[in-house]
Amino acid sequence: MSSTPELAWFKSSHSSGSQGDCVEVALTPSTAHVRDTKDREGGEFAVSAGSWTAFLNHVSEA
């Protein structure tokens, strides 16, 4: 899948400027799109809003 330019992408609040793997997220009412900040043209993946919420709940407990 190619990048979707009309989405409003934002960088993860846990991404640092010089270390670690940075991701960007774009939200719609029904999906969350994720891509690599360093390879924006490399594609993206999307998950349902429910799956994204479950993921966030899980990682916030860690």
What integer pLDDT is reported at residue 22 of this predicted model? Answer: 84
Q: Which long-range contacts (CB under 8 A, 24 or more apart) does 31-39 make?
A: 33/4, 33/7, 33/9, 35/3, 35/9, 37/11
pLDDT at position 41 over 70: yes
Using a pLDDT cut of 90, give the percent of the chain over it: 47
